[in-house]
Structure 1
Amino acid sequence: MTVRELTRELVSIPSHENETAAGNDIEEWLRRETDADVTRDDAGNVLARKGTGDETLALVGHHDVVDPTASQVRRADDGAVEYVLEERDGRLYGRGAADMKGAVAAAMLAFRDADPAGELVFASFVGEEVGGVGARHAIERGFDPDYAVVGEGSTGYSSPGVTDVAVAHKGRRGSTITARGTAAHASEVDAGENAIYRATDAVDCVRDLEPPSVEAAGERLEGSLVVTEIEGGTAMNVVPDRCELTVDERTVPGERAELERVENLEGVEWTVDQDLPPMRCDDEAFAETVLEAAASAQSGTPELVTKPHATDAGWLAEAGTECVICGAAEPGEAHTEDESVSLEVLERCRETYQRVAESWPA
């Protein structure tokens, strides 16, 4: 089976509401095509292991996808939802082609064909698109490879068409600032405490904070901090007793903006709603090995780069795994109405993964 055929098979299986069918397909393929120890945990993650050694390398992906658009689905005669697949100009179009069933297919084939230098693990997680549910579940139950190549997109970062190796990415912390006051009739302003005024004081505090940054891959990985929503008040003639703000913070490895400072303001509370960890690879030898494998698999010259958004590599790195990201998706492809992936680049990824598996641990 080729990477094209396997990608088409995986992408055709709906997995935006329930990943079970896609997980079944991956599990059955691994059991049929390999002699590996294949398991399925109670979250739905599919794991396979082969080879032996003191250190473990994992090829990591996820088989859940975001909701498809109307043009990406059709109804079968029995009423079931099917994903629309199109292939043209060397690219496969369909929900999940880029993010990231194509890279999962490449990793499956590399896992099957590799004669690994150490213990080799394949892992396809559920729930990446909703906060890393599957990765967190696996980590909590002992999934702890020494190294991992995560197949999220790294193509087209240094130059168009080149598959790079990302050694760091930002995280995301989403939080809510709640300002409380005392309601009063708007004709008696001094009888109340205006929660919106307290909230605007919190906004000023956020604007004064310096987003953190760190050095990674020879460049500055810059965090960011922005107020994204505000809601407060009940009527035009009432001094509001409550106002809420949401804050989107892009975090960097080892650093956070000091958002807790807003709680020094009277009547203001701060709550973290989501905290997706950033990632940075601190093992230069591992990063260079993956870079060399990627260079050998293509005519272009890949570079070590950084990514702007969070992936399951963040959860793995937080747990102690040295991670890099290498995958076929290009900036602007994931989650789009015309999501697609280059079949040539998928074959490149398959070759890269196999080369890494056969050379690392060194």
Structure 2
Amino acid sequence: MPTLDLTASSIDITRAICDVPSVSGDETTLADLIDAAVRPLDHLEVFRDGDTIVARTMLGRPQRVVIAGHIDTVPINDNLPTREEHVDGEAVLWGRGTVDMKAGVAVQLKLAAEFTDPRIDITWMWYDHEEVDADLNGLTRLARTRPDLFAGDFAILGEPTGGAVEGGCNGNMRVIVRTHGVRSHSARAWIGENAIHRAAPVLSRLAEYRPREVPVDGLVYREGLNAVRIGGGVAGNVIPDLCEIEVNYRFAPSRSTEDAERHVRDVFAGFEVDVIDVAAGARPGLDASLAQEFVAAVGAEARPKYGWTDVARFSAMGVPAVNYGPGDPHLAHHDQERVPLAQIVDVERGLRAWLSAP
């Protein structure tokens, strides 16, 4: 089995781990490499749960930070192995996982090996199954088996942010809005009642909806309410008796999941609404002293995270958390996924500066 050299540059480590395919459900090979690389390090106490690796210092420092990143990717689409390119005069590393989020993991691995005597204790987490259902997520499993490992005063998730600090995250809810009718032969449509036609007011409400912009602890989050899927009908000559519209609601972290559900039900008053998935958001977490020191040390702009990330898991456990990593989030999951080499170096510099600060 190949080995992972953590004395290499963070760029070379990014290339090495990206070239090990780890689509969700197939992370074991990469997890084995990470385990083999960090387990011999005397300054780290290492645990493994499935394909999640946790390594932590136990120096008795008064404060602890958790720094985490997922090792899985979405499916490969002829975009491995990685290669270096120049785009608009900028050197980039192209390939699946370079943005989401193995460049961030590479930086973390390098610093985990180097920081043998950090000023604060550090818990490093590299976990599996982030890109699929939440119940498969390595952090979900770890929270059940070892909740003590999440203890910390601050957490950083290495999701791609373009080197900015993105505080907290929006919440995420999916609902099904249903309309009902009566089946009949389409040649005698007046006998039936068309459930798809009855969905027109639902679509009108969505088209007319204006999302809120919500200030939360100094950052402004933009909400969104959108139809993402619609289905109905059983045959080309039958008036449909059921139409289902799947709606995705991204809500500011100042709303609870209960508030979010009430809002959605108010928008679709008069229609059947079934919540099928919900995840609370996370407040920015930038009021914590460690967070303020971190933002100052890395010299990055603080802004809101519109998408949902695992910072919400830490927030729910009382640990303020932010997103900070290399890569443009717009290129996450893209077939032209690529990360600027300079951004990998800058994020490493930022984390190093903060962890080294007196």
Q: TM-score, normalised by structure 1?
A: 0.82
Q: 1:94 to 1:206 in 2, by over 3 A?
A: closer
Equivalent position of 2:150 in the other structure: 144
Where in structure 2 are the equivalents of 1:291-310 lying within 5 Å? 291-295=295-299, 302-310=300-308
Shift of 1:106: 0.5
8 Å contact 1:111–1:354 — kept in the other structure? no
Shift of 1:193: 3.9
8 Å contact 1:168–1:305 — kept in the other structure? no
Equivalent position of 2:225 in the other structure: 225
Task: Give me the whole-angstrom Cα distance separating, in 2, the residues matched to 1:14 and 1:270.
Answer: 40
8 Å contact 1:262–1:269 — kept in the other structure? no
Equivalent position of 1:103 in the other structure: 104
Structure 2 SS opposite 1:280 = coil
Structure 1 SS opposite 2:54 = strand
Which of 28, 40, 50 in structure 1 is aligned with 2:36?
A: 28
Shift of 1:87: 2.2
Q: 1:219 to 1:116 in 2, by over 3 A?
A: same
Residues 1:118 and 2:125 aligned together: no
8 Å contact 1:59–1:353 — kept in the other structure? no
Structure 2 SS opposite 1:32 = coil
Equivalent position of 1:261 in the other structure: 266
Where in structure 2 are the equivalents of 1:1-362 lying within 5 Å? 1=7, 2-17=9-24, 18-42=26-50, 44-50=51-57, 51-70=59-78, 72=79, 83-89=80-86, 90-114=91-115, 115-132=117-134, 133-141=137-145, 142=147, 143-146=149-152, 147-155=154-162, 163-186=163-186, 191-207=191-207, 211-216=211-216, 218-255=218-255, 256=260, 258-261=263-266, 264-265=269-270, 268-284=271-287, 285-295=289-299, 302-359=300-357
Shift of 1:53: 3.4
Instruction: For residues 155-196 of structure 1, give each alpha carbon's deviation from its aligned partner in whole angstroms, at most 9, with x where no partner exists.
Output: 2xxxxxxx2211133233222222223323446556544322
Structure 1 SS opposite 2:330 = coil
8 Å contact 1:279–1:317 — kept in the other structure? yes
Opposite residue 334 of structure 2, the aligned amino acid is T
8 Å contact 1:167–1:217 — kept in the other structure? no
Task: Give me the whole-angstrom Cα distance separating, in 2, the residues matched to 1:252 and 1:207.
Answer: 20
Task: Give me the whole-angstrom Cα distance separating, in 2, the residues matched to 1:279 and 1:215.
Answer: 13
Opposite residue 151 of structure 2, the aligned amino acid is P
8 Å contact 2:160–2:323 — kept in the other structure? yes
Opposite residue 55 of structure 2, the aligned amino acid is A
8 Å contact 1:16–1:68 — kept in the other structure? yes
Shift of 1:210: 5.5
Opposite residue 94 of structure 2, the aligned amino acid is Y
Shift of 1:67: 1.0
Query: Runs of 5+ in structure 2 lacking a partner?
Result: 1-6
Q: 1:67 to 1:34 in 2, by over 3 A?
A: farther
Opposite residue 275 of structure 2, the aligned amino acid is V
Q: TM-score, normalised by structure 2?
A: 0.83
Shift of 1:236: 5.0
Shift of 1:281: 2.3
Opposite residue 108 of structure 2, the aligned amino acid is A
